[in-house]
Every structure is written in C-alpha cells, then in structure tokens.
C-alpha cells in the first residue's frame, strides 16, 4: 500500500507527518512502526548504525520504494498535491579524469539541449543563479572530478535547490568532506533553511555538529529508538545502548 496525500497539517505552516511506516524488502522487515513529524523550517538529523534503514526511510519519503503506512504532507497555499522534494544522494564518485564540468552537469539535469552543444547564454545565467545559492559561482567551469568533497556537495545542493523544494533531503552529506568543509556546509544548510523556509532531513554520523545545528535528532535502528532535542537523544539510554553495543561502529 502506498499513501501520499495532502492533509494532516499543522495550522498555517507546512509539515511532513509519517505515521506507522513500515518497509519490507522480500522477507526482510527493514523498517517498522516509524512515526515522525517534521515542521516547516526544521532541521532534522537521522542517526543510527550501518544497516539501520536510514537511507531506506529517505527513499520511502522520496516515493522510490513501496511502504505501508502514511506519509502525509501539508503546505497551505501550495497547489501541487505532492511536496517538492530536493534530494542530495550519497556522494557519487566522479573520476578525476572525467571531462564533465559543473556547467555540463546542470545542463544534463535542467535542459533538453545536448550537453556537447554547450550552454546557451540564458542557461549559463540560470546555472550561475543556482550556484549563487551555495556561494559557488566560481565552480561553474570546473570539472566535477576535480572538486573537493565539500565543493561537490555544494554543487549537488545547488542542483537539489532548483526548483526550490519544500523539503530538502540529504544522505550523509558530510562523509568525504573535511572538518573545515563540514562547518561551511552546515552553516550553508542552516542559512538555506532560514532563507527559503524549507525543512531539512539529513543523515549524519557526525554527532559533534548535532547540538549546534539540529532542531530534532532521530535515532533509528529498524524503528525509531529515540527522538528529541540533540541533548535528549545524545544522553538517552537508547543512544548509549546502540553505539556501545555496536562497539562504536556507526557506518
């Protein structure tokens, strides 16, 4: 059963509600009994050990896999029945010798014109506008294979922000990004959600940034084990139990 409907709102603001969500792949119950409420403008961090079902949960929200239960979204005043979701997948690997440039990548995603014809003037200006949202105009002619982890994430983020989504979903945006780049990226996500009033749902293993950036932390292992403020979840018995039991292996 797949349900995705408008409704279940929170007054005048948009929100995402997940109720009793479960996912089965073959005979394997990957997720069960997942309940979550994300308010507009909130940053929610999903944490949990490897194989906990975090990416599967995001795929259910994206409508990429079948699930049971309800995923409901409400956005008063928006005409489309489905929410606009921006998605930054786990970092794709580009070869350093790959000739594709950032401009080509945008052209492939945003234009029907073959990339080998180059960018029209209008498209180049649109790409620059998109890159401006992540302060990345200078990246437009760089080859994607030569970008640092942080730069690549900013380019993927710029792609996910066009058109502007209601919910931005990122699967481990901080992996492959150095410590300095992590701060830059998190500050940028914080700025983006405030500027555009969108919700952000991201998976991370970097617990150090939770207190500073996340409104809500959700600890998952096939179901939700704990949720609340960063302080509540990080001090919970479930958190201790999950990461000590697993010997600290979180990936």
Nearest CA to 166 among 77, 65, 36, 92? 77
Cα 229–chain centre separation = 19
- Each residue 53-92 as x (binds ligand ADP by CB under 6 A) or -, in order, gives xxxx------------------------------------
How far is residue 134 from each of residues 160, 189, 191, measured CA to CA in Å?
11, 9, 10
Cα 129–chain centre separation = 21
Residue tagged 């998190």 (tokens): 186
- Each residue 139-178 as x (binds Mg ion by CB under 5 A) or -, in order, gives ----------------------------------------
Q: Does 55 bind Mg ion (CB under 5 A)?
A: yes
Residue tagged 């990226």 (tokens): 185
Q: Which residue, 54 or 133, has its beta carbon nearer to ligand ADP?
A: 54
| Spatial distance between the Cα atoms of 226 and 237, rounded to a whole number of angstroms | 9
| Spatial distance between the Cα atoms of 68 and 20, rounded to a whole number of angstroms | 8
Task: Select from 47-55, 113-121, 187-195, 242-250 the region that touches Mg ion (CB under 5 A).
Answer: 47-55
Task: Select from 45-53, 67-75, 105-113, 177-185 the region that touches ligand ADP (CB under 6 A).
Answer: 45-53
Q: Does 52 bind ligand ADP (CB under 6 A)?
A: yes
The footprint of ligand ADP (CB under 6 A) covers 25, 30, 48, 50-56
């Amino acid at each position: 059963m797949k349900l995705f409907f408008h409704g279940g709102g929170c007054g005048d603001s948009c929100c995402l509600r997940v109720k009793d969500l479960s996912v089965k792949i073959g005979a394997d119950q990957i997720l069960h009994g997942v309940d979550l409420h994300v308010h507009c403008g909130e940053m929610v961090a999903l944490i949990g050990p490897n194989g906990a079902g975090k990416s599967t949960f995001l795929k259910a929200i994206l409508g990429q896999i079948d699930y049971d239960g309800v995923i409901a979204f409400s956005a008063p005043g928006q005409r489309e029945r489905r929410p606009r979701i921006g998605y930054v997948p786990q970092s794709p690997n580009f070869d350093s010798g790959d000739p594709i440039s950032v401009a080509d990548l945008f052209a492939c995603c945003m234009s029907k014109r073959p990339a080998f014809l180059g960018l029209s003037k209008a498209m180049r200006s649109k790409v620059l506008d998109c890159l401006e949202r992540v302060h990345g105009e200078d990246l437009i002619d760089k080859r994607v294979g030569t970008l640092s982890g942080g730069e690549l994430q900013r380019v993927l983020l710029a792609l996910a922000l066009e058109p502007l989504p209601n919910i931005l979903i990122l699967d481990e945006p901080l992996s492959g990004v150095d410590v300095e780049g992590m701060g830059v990226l998190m500050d940028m996500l914080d700025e983006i959600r405030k500027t555009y009033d969108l919700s952000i749902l991201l998976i991370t293993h970097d617990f150090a940034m939770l207190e500073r950036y996340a409104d809500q932390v959700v600890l998952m292992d096939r179901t939700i084990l704990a949720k609340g403020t960063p302080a509540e979840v990080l001090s919970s018995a479930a958190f201790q139990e999950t990461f000590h039991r697993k010997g600290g292996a979180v990936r």
